[in-house]
Amino acid sequence: MLNPVELIKMQQEAKKMQNKMREKKIVGESKDRMLKLFMNGAQEFEDIWVDDNLMDPDMIDRFKKNMKEAFKSYRKSLQKEMAKDMDLDQLKSMLG
């Protein structure tokens, strides 16, 4: 069982890490580059860019597909950023 001092220290470290992740700006984009998501490392949405051609009502299915691709791209980039910030010991302790 953790003592209160250790618990407070862990909470402070978690808050520092979360703030650091908020500073990271990550872009996810669709494969055809017609849609880009701008989010931070804390998985908070910041902005979106959509090519004008994708705004046509007849393109709604393509828009949805591009949104999924852009989010998948964002998640992949986020994982790479997180891996850069963690050392092997941190990863081992998180995975048990």
User: What confidence tens digit (pLDDT) does each residue in 51-79 have?
Assistant: 999 999 999 999 999 999 999 999 999 99
Strand-pair partners of 47: 38
Predicted local distance difference test score (pLDDT) of residue 18: 87
Q: DSSP character for 43?
A: S
pTM of the model: 0.76
Length of the chain: 96
CA-to-CA distance for 16 and 11, rounded, in angstroms?
9
| Cβ atoms of residues 41 and 24 within 8 Å | yes
43: left (phi over 0), alpha (psi -120 to 50) or beta: left
Query: Where exactly are the structural domains of the chain?
Result: 23-88
Class of domain 23-88: alpha beta
